[in-house]
Amino acid sequence: MHMKIKSLLYLILAGFIFQSAGFTQSIAQWRGDNREGIYSGNNLIKIWPENGPSLLWSVENIGNGYSSPVAANNILYVNGEINNAGYLFAFDVKGNLLWKSPNGAEYPQSDTSSEKYSGPRSTPTVKDEVVYSCSGLGRIGCFNALTGEELWNVDMVKDFGGMMHEAGYAESLLIDGDLLYCFPGGKENNAVALNRFTGKSVWTSKVLGDSVSFSSPLMVTLPTLKVIVNFSSKYIFGLNAATGELLWSQKQENARYNQQYSTPVYAGGNIYYVSGNGNGAVKLELSADGKKIKEIWRIPNSLNGLNSPIHINDFLYFTDVRQKLKCIDINRGIVVDSLRINRGSLISADGMFFCYSETGQVSLIKSEGSKMEIVSKFKVDKGTREHLSTPAIFNGVMYIRHGNTLLAYNISKDM
């Protein structure tokens, strides 16, 4: 049977299995449902014990990498690298391995000197019956979410002439409807929309012909248009999601490293971002038709690390490279509070913040409006290499990936 027809039949069959089993139809992805860093859940523990929340389990066989775990339908998915090969792992919520599927060679290539930072950067994306994984070298694999069988694959470098960053690809793949969006970078096929069932190209776009960034794209849904917002190395830009047409862009001036790590946030008709290269924190007003932007304010001395901001009510929160958690009043465009804390990834659930710092410290932070306070903290003492992954929360459990180890912590009063 032809491979494409066989893959499509697998997807249809898997769809029937998931629907009959009562599986959800939502998207599980990096930083939660809308990529905004806010997770569902309530009745979470507001003050942890002195040594932190109880560790339910840990597994130490997921290989190297900096991608985050993602949970869907009581299955955990995470990417890892073992002996230069990439894998997508699936675990049940008790830490038992369900399957492990290869996803090609993994970053770095054998002739590089970056072995210390080897492994995938991208978090898997799960939609209905399938899971999508991107390697650090740009191979995108589509897998049956129950069995791990690969259904199709494309290579952003080989198939689209992509311009891989010297530190590899880091985007977490964006799904909307029947389309999967990816950003190979380069002069011709800078952005690509694929049919998520077959892997065939639907459209390609030159965008600005720039090299890729370390950020992941965001979908903004307006009444008359869907806009993909993303960073390249030198620009923030908006694309028509249906066609790939470039709608607008803003150059990142005074760039120090020509690199962005932060996914933008959209709320109330505005786009917020915190630059990683010297452009500060910025509020952009997006026109009602999605085709224009207007800068409202900029805070030049704000500089994020390898993390993305969170918007709640009238405030924007992010960790600054100067070892502070900052709170910006989005109406006035000023920093209204800061908290001394090691920089790291930031997520939120049940009215609390969870910061996993690059030193391995996990802090539980209470916020009342603009005022922030650390109420509990502990240090992750298992795992390998740098603490650069973003935690995920699912059904009262906080999952943290540290190198070759995946850890599950009970943060719920109900467990």
For 290-313, write each residue's pLDDT tens digit: 999 999 999 988 877 778 999 999
Q: What is the pLDDT of residue 22?
A: 39
Average pLDDT value for residue range 52-62:
97
User: What does the alpha-carbon distance between residue 304 and residue 368 come to, in Å, rounded to a whole number?
Assistant: 23
Tell me, what's the pLDDT at 261?
A: 80
Residue 4 backbone phi and psi in degrees, to 5: -65, -40
Task: pLDDT band for 9, please (50, 70, 90 cuts).
Answer: low
Domain ranges (residues) in the chain: 3-410
Q: Integer distance in angstroms from the first to the last C-alpha of the chain?
A: 48
Q: Give the lowest-confidence range in 75-84, 203-212, 259-268.
A: 259-268
Q: Is the dihedral of CA 48, 71, 402, 36 positive or negative?
A: negative
Mean pLDDT on 36-65 = 96
Which of 19-28, 98-107, 195-204 comes out lowest in average pLDDT? 19-28
Q: For residue 140, what pLDDT is reported?
A: 98
Q: How confident is the model at residue 404 (pLDDT cuts 50, 70, 90)?
A: very high
Q: Which of 32, 37, 30 is nearest to 355 (CA)?
A: 37
Instruction: Name the pLDDT band for 320 (thresholds 50, 70, 90).
Output: confident
**Most confidently modeled of 113-127, 316-330, 348-362?**
348-362
Q: Give residue 4's region: left, alpha or beta (phi > 0; psi -120 to 50).
A: alpha
By DSSP bridging, strand 38-39 and strand 344-349 are parallel
Identify the band that residue 111 occupies on the pLDDT scale cut at 50, 70 and 90: low
Split at pLDDT 50, 70, 90, the class of 256 is low
Cβ(183)–Cβ(230) below 8 Å? yes
The pLDDT, as a whole number, for residue 19 is 42
Q: What is the mean pLDDT of residues 322-349?
A: 93
* Alpha carbon distance 405, 401 (integer Å): 6
Peptide bond into 108 cis (omega under 30): yes
Tell me, what's the pLDDT at 265? 96
Instruction: Give the pLDDT band (50/70/90) at residue 14.
Output: very low
Q: Mind listing the pLDDT tens digit for each residue in 191-211?
A: 999 999 999 999 999 999 999
Q: Are 296 and 284 in contact (CB under 8 A)?
A: yes
The pair of three-digit structure tokens given for residue 284, joined into one six-digit string = 């952009």
Is residue 263's pLDDT more than 60? yes
pTM, whole model, 2 decimals? 0.92
Torsion region of 83: left, alpha or beta (phi above 0 gives left; psi -120 to 50 gives alpha): left
User: Following DSSP, what letter does each residue of 54-72 receive, concatenated?
Assistant: -EEEEE--S-B--PPPEEE
Residue 392 forms beta bridges with which residues? Answer: 399
What letter represents residue 129's amino acid?
A: E
For residue 5, which phi and psi values (nearest 5 degrees)? Answer: -65, -40
Distance between CA atoms of residues 152 and 30, nearest Å: 22
DSSP 280: -
Structure confidence at residue 20 (pLDDT): 38
- CA 261 to the chain's CA centroid: 10
As given in the structure block, the two tokens for residue 370 are: 């603009």
Q: Which residues contact 103 (CB under 8 A, 6 or more apart)?
A: 79, 86, 87, 88, 133, 135, 139, 141, 153
For 181, the 3-state DSSP assignment is strand
CATH topology of domain 3-410: Methylamine Dehydrogenase; Chain H (2.130.10)
* pLDDT higher than threshold 50 for residue 138: yes
Interatomic CA distance for residues 228 and 355, integer angstroms: 27
Residue 117 or residue 327, greater confidence: 327
How many alpha carbons lie under 13 Å from residue 228 in its C-beta half-sphere?
Answer: 28
CA dist., res. 93 & res. 71, Å (int)? 9
pLDDT tier for residue 241 given thresholds of 50, 70 and 90: very high
